[in-house]
Amino acid sequence: MPTSDVEAEGSGMSCDLQVDTDRVREAAALLRRAAERFTAESPGRSPTLGEHAAGGSATAREALRTARVRAEQACQAAANLTDAAARMAVLLDRAGAQFDAAEALCRGAG
């Protein structure tokens, strides 16, 4: 588990990094897998709700219209969540790399 609590001797530079970069990368991988799985299993569009399902009733047609709108909203929200998870995975990967680089710099300064 890479963590760092380093003081570069004689340099006056102190590093007190308490970051478990393996866990950061695990979190990134988990988010990436979740986003990939959702994308693979998602129909990519809202379910088709045909007008014939409502019959002739105005109330049934309105309920169907409302259900269609809600289904579209749910699909869009799920797509937004998937995008956010994928972006967060990239950011976590970058953060892990930056912490590793900072640790290497601290160790190199000593």
Supply the DSSP symbol for 44: S
- The rounded distance, in Å, linking the Cα atoms of 3 and 32 is 23
- Structural contact between residues 103 and 24, judged by C-beta atoms closer than 8 angstroms: no
> Does the predicted model carry a pTM greater than 0.75?
no
Task: Give the range among 10-14, 19-23, 73-77 with minimum mean pLDDT.
Answer: 10-14
Token output for 5: 């609590």
Nearest to 17 by CA among 93, 96, 94: 96
Per-domain residue ranges for the chain?
Answer: 6-109
**Is 99 a residue whose pLDDT tops 70?**
yes
pLDDT of residue 10: 47
Positive/negative CA dihedral, 62, 67, 70, 76: negative
